[in-house]
Amino acid sequence: MDSNRKPYRNRVSEFIARAGHKQNNVLWPDTLANARDVDELLWHGSVTATKVQKAGAVVFGVAFAGAGVGFLYISSQAHSWFLACFAIFWLLIGIRVCKKAFNPTARRN
């Protein structure tokens, strides 16, 4: 047996403690950190984001862009410039979120 390895019981205890810590972030002070991480991913991109998180960001971006296209279609039928501006706003948000999912911005602290 390798002397550097921890006993099985200690490794399991550490795993359970880490899992418990990850699940504790549903109460107020920790939810702020979660919200910040999501905002960071959607608006600036994240170098450490997983493929699933990037796919989720793309889903949000496509939904925003789809809403923009829908509003753009409605504005063309109603001949409304105000609605067209509203549509372009949502379309640009969707494009930005999709772009930042795969091309994160370097952040300065």
Which pair of tokens denotes residue 68? 């923009």
User: What is the pLDDT, as a whole number, of residue 7?
Assistant: 76
Domain annotation covers residue 3: no
Reading the block at residue 98, the tokens are 């999709």
Residues of the domain holding 34: 8-102
pLDDT in tens, 2-17: 555 667 778 888 888 8
DSSP the chain: --TTSPPHHHHHHHHHHHHHHHHTTTSHHHHHHHHHHHHHHHHH--TT--HHHHHHHHHHHHHHHHHHHHHHHHHHHHT-HHHHHHHHHHHHHHHHHHHHHHSPPPPP-
**Is residue 68, in this structure, part of any structural domain at all?**
yes
Number of domains into which the chain is organized: 1
Q: Is residue 107 part of a domain?
A: no
What's the CA gap between 90 and 51, in Å, rounded? 24
Domain contains 109? no
Segments of the chain with pLDDT less than 50: 1
Q: Is residue 84 part of a domain?
A: yes
Answer whether residue 2 is part of any domain. no
